[in-house]
C-alpha cells in the first residue's frame, strides 16, 4: 500500500535529512511540497490522501479538512498538535498522528545541565581559566546537588526522568502532579502540594505541557510562595508562568530563573528580565541533540509507514 | 584532655572559619600559628604535642620530627599526606591523620557538570542568548549522555559516584580498577581492561589517586588508544597523564581534554595546550562547594577531638 499523493505544507526541505525524504518517496506515488503561505494549498489538498504539516506555521481547521475529500491521514512534525481540528478530522475518518517523547532525554538532561552550570558557576569558571586565572573562586557560594531539595512539577516522561536523575545525585526529590505516581514514589520521590513544594525546595524544575489548565500555573500567588534564593528551571512554555509576577520576584533579587523558550518571548519581555542578574536565558536548545533530531524524523516517517500497514502509531484522535 | 600546645604551620587564618578556630582553641591550652617560612618552627615544635599542617606548603621530615620530642599528633589539612614521613612518625608514637573523602560528591558532580557543559555546548548557548540570538544552533552536533559509553578509570569513592550518576543518565558504564568491584557490577557497570576501555568509550573520566603506580598512567601508548573524538575528563592530578603524548593527540584534533588542575600546570604547558580547540581548561573548582568546605573543616577539627578522646579517626600510619 502506498499513498497516492502526499502533500507537505510548511516543512522546509532541510527539516528532514535526505534519507528520510527518500523513505517518504518510497511510501507514495507522488509528493508535493508547499510553503505555508502558498495559494495552492486547497487545490493541492483536493486529491491528497496524506498531509504532512509543520504545526508551528500551519493550522488545519474545518475548512481545510472540507477541502480534502480524499484525506486519510495527517502527520504532524512535532509533539504539539493543537493546531489541528482533531475531532472534526475524526468525523471524516482522518487519523492524526504526532511525535511524542522524542526529546524526553535531551530535555531532562538539559534541565540537569543548566542546573549544574548554575550550581557550580561553570561559565564564569571557564572564562576565568581562559583568562589565565587558575586559582579562581566562584562569584557566589557554589553547592552540591546532593542533599538539596529538588521539586519537579509535572510527572510526565520528562519530569520523571529529571526526578530519577536528581535522585542519583542524592537530592531529596519532591514532585507535584495531579495524581500520585506510585512508580516515582517507589524510587524515593515524595508527592507535595504545589505551594508546599514551592516553599520548601531549593530547586524547582517545571515540566508541564501547556493547556487551559496549566496556563499561568505559576500565578502571582504561587510565585510569591517560592523559597528565597531558589533556582527555578523552566524548559517548558513561558505561558506556564505569570510574566509580571515573575518580573516582580526577580526584581527582589531572591530568585534564579533559568529558561530556554526565549525564542517565544516578546523582545520587550526579554529586555525586561535581562535587567535582573537572576535571569539566566538560554536559546531553545532542549531538542538540539543528534539523538532527538534523528528520533523525531524516525518517528515521523514511522508514523506514515505504520499507518499504511494498518497499525497506526501515535494516533491522537 | 586537652593538647598542651597546638602549633599550626602554613595554615592561613582564613583557611578555617572562626568557629572552627574557636573549637580548636577549646581543645588546647595554647595555640601558636606560624607561616611555612618561619625561622621559629623548630623552636616552637620543641614543646608542641599537636602539629597542624598545610601539606601544600609544608613538609614534615625526620629532622622535624626529631625536633619535636613531645609531639603526639600531626593533623594534615588535606587528603594527601605524602609530605609527612608517616612511618618515622609512627616509630615515635606520633599519629598522623588526614581528611579523606570530604569532596567526593563535589568532584563527582563536577565531572558530570563539565561533561554536560561540553555535550550541550552550554557556555556558547548562554553567550548567544545574552547576545540576543534565541534561535541558536550549537557549534557541533551536541548529544545525550543516554546510551553513550562512559569509562570510569579508578573505582574509589569519586569514580564510583561518577559511575552511579552516569548510570542514572542511561549511559553504558564501564570501569577500570585493579580489582573488580562487585558493588559497581551489581549496578550495571562492567569492568574493562584499560586499553579496551580507552578504545571503546566516548567519554572517559579519570579518578585515580597519584602514586608511583599511577604516575603517567595514561602513557603515550594508552593515549594513542583513546577512541577518536572521545571526551577525556581529568579532575585528577595532571601527573596521571603523559603531557607530550597528550599534546600530540590534541594536535590531531580528535580528542577533547577537560581538566581542572590547571593551577598545577606550568604556564608554558597551559600555553601549549591552549593552542588546541580540544583543550577545555577549568580552574581547580572541584573542592569549591559549601558542602566540601564545611565538611573539610568539620573532619579536621573532628580528627583533633577524636584523638583526644582516644578514638582517633582517619589515622593513616
CATH code of the domain occupying B6-102+291-308: 3.40.50.720
Cell of B164: 552511579
CA nearest to B226, candidates B190, B260, B195, B189: B195
Q: At what angle do helices B122-130 and A122-130 cross, to 10 degrees?
A: 100
A104-119 helix and A122-130 helix, angle to the nearest 10 degrees: 60
Categorize the per-residue pLDDT at B184 as very low, low, confident or very high, splitting at 50, 70 and 90.
very high
Reported ipTM? 0.91
Determine the residue among A106, A122, A202 to mutate to test chain B binding: the one whose Cβ has the most chain B Cβ atoms within 10 Å: A122
For A285, half-sphere exposure in the C-beta direction (CA atoms, 13 angstrom radius) is 34
Name every residue whose Cβ is closer than 8 Å to that of residue A11 and which is 6 or more positions away in sequence.
Answer: A33, A52, A53, A54, A77
Q: SS3 of B58, please?
A: coil
Average pLDDT of chain B is 96
Would the pLDDT of B151 be above 90?
yes
Class of domain B104-281: alpha beta
∠ CA B283-A129-A112, rounded to 5°: 65
Residue B10: pLDDT band (50, 70, 90) is very high
Residues of chain A found within 8 Å of residue B202, distances taken between Cβ atoms: none
What's the pLDDT at A77? 96
Nearest to A109 among B144, B262, B283 (CB): B144
Average pLDDT score over residue span B281-297: 96
A6-102+291-308 shares its CATH topology with A104-281:
yes
* Placement of cell 472534526 in the chain: A88
For B53-98, what is each residue's pLDDT tens digit?
Answer: 999 899 999 999 999 999 999 999 998 898 999 999 999 999 999 9
Helix (H, G, I), strand (E, B) or coil at B236: coil
CB pairs under 8 A between A and B: 166
Helix (H) and strand (E) counts in chain B? 13, 12
Contact state of B120 with A110 under an 8 Å Cβ cutoff: yes
Please report, for chain B, the start and end positions of each structural domain, with discontinuous segments joined by +.
6-102+291-308, 104-281
> What was the pLDDT predicted at A80?
85
B67 vs B137, higher pLDDT: B67
Structure confidence at residue A135 (pLDDT)? 83
Residue of A nearest to B161 (CA): A169
Please name the residues in contact with B132: beta carbons below 8 A apart, sequence gap of 6 or more.
Answer: A270
**pLDDT confidence tier of residue B138, bands split at 50, 70 and 90:** confident
Q: Looking at residue A217, what is its pLDDT? A: 98
Cell numbers describing residue B44: 616552637
Residues of B in contact with A288 (CB under 8 A): 120, 137-138, 142
Which DSSP category does A84 fall into? B
3-state class (DSSP) for residue B82: coil
Closest-approach residue (CA) in chain B for A141 = B290
Give the pLDDT means over successive 10-residue stretches in chain A (317 positions): 97 95 97 96 97 95 97 95 95 97 96 98 96 88 97 96 98 97 94 98 96 95 98 97 98 98 94 97 95 97 98 96
Full-model pTM: 0.92
Residue B252: pLDDT over 90: yes
Residue B146 has pLDDT above 90, yes or no: yes
Amino acid at each position: 500500500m502506498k499513498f497516492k499523493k502526499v502533500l507537505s505544507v510548511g516543512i522546509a526541505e532541510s527539516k528532514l535529512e535526505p534519507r528520510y525524504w527518500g523513505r517518504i518517496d518510497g511510501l507514495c506515488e507522488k509528493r508535493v511540497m508547499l510553503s505555508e503561505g502558498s495559494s495552492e494549498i486547497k487545490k493541492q489538498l483536493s486529491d491528497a490522501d496524506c498531509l504532512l504539516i509543520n504545526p508551528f506555521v500551519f493550522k488545519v481547521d474545518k475548512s481545510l479538512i472540507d477541502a480534502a475529500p480524499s484525506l486519510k491521514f495527517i502527520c504532524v512534525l512535532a509533539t504539539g498538535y493543537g493546531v489541528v481540528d482533531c475531532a472534526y478530522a475524526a468525523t471524516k475518518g482522518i487519523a492524526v498522528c504526532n511525535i511524542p517523547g522524542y526529546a524526553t532525554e535531551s530535555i531532562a538532561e538539559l534541565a540537569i545541565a543548566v542546573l549544574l552550570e548554575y550550581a557550580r558557576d561553570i561559565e564564569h569558571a571557564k572564562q576565568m581559566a581562559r583568562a589565565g586565572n587558575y586559582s579562581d573562586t566562584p562569584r557566589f557560594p557554589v553547592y552540591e546537588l546532593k542533599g538539596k531539595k529538588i521539586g519537579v512539577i509535572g510527572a510526565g516522561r520528562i519530569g520523571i526522568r529529571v526526578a530519577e536523575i536528581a535522585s542519583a545525585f542524592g537530592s531529596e526529590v519532591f514532585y507535584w502532579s495531579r495524581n500520585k505516581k506510585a512508580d516515582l514514589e517507589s524510587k524515593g520521590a515524595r508527592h507535595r502540594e504545589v505551594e508546599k513544594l514551592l516553599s520548601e525546595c531549593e530547586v524547582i524544575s517545571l515540566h508541564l505541557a501547556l493547556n487551559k489548565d496549566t496556563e499561568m500555573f505559576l500565578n502571582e500567588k504561587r510565585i510569591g510562595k517560592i523559597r528565597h534564593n531558589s533556582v527555578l528551571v523552566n524548559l517548558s512554555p513561558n505561558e506556564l508562568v505569570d510574566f509580571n509576577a515573575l518580573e516582580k520576584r526577580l526584581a527582589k533579587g531572591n530568585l534564579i530563573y533559568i529558561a530556554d523558550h526565549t525564542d517565544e518571548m516578546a523582545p520587550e519581555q526579554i529586555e525586561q528580565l535581562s535587567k535582573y542578574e537572576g535571569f539566566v536565558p538560554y536559546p531553545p536548545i532542549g531538542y538540539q541533540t543528534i539523538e532527538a533530531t534523528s528520533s523525531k524524523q524516525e518517528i515521523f516517517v514511522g508514523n506514515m509507514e505504520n499507518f499504511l500497514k494498518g497499525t497506526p502509531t501515535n494516533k491522537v484522535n
